[in-house]
Amino acid sequence: MAPRNAVSLDETVLDFVRKSEEAALEVGRKWADAVTEFVPMEVPLVRDLRKQVFDLVEDLLRIQREFAQKMLAETRKAVVGSAKPAPTHAPAKRVRKAA
């Protein structure tokens, strides 16, 4: 049975990832806009700069994915660690009678 807050945790993580991706894309857009103000779009250099922007955004998304995976792994550890272990009954020790 899933914990009651599992859905809200999933929604929170997905919302965090969406916002992070939007922020990364916005950085890429602003950087590209700043570059195009100084360099005409026809210049081959701009194509190279666009590639650099996409590479930057790709790296940011990779880093965010790694962070999200680590966060989920730590959350999983915390949830599993907080669960009460099932009681175990040790087998009774046999006592040898002296002969």
Q: Which pLDDT band holds residue 97 (cuts at 50, 70, 90)?
A: low
Range of the structural domain that residue 57 is part of: 17-82
Flag whether 52 is in a domain: yes
Answer yes or no: is pLDDT of 77 > 70. yes
Q: Number of structural domains, the chain?
A: 1
- C-alpha dist (Å) from residue 71 to 3, 15, 62, 64, 67: 17, 14, 14, 10, 6
Flag whether 45 is in a domain: yes
Q: pLDDT per residue over 6-62, tens digit each?
A: 567 778 878 888 888 888 888 878 877 777 776 665 666 767 777 888 888 888 888
Q: Which amino acid is at 90?
A: A
Flag whether 98 is in a domain: no
Q: Which pLDDT band holds residue 3 (cuts at 50, 70, 90)?
A: low
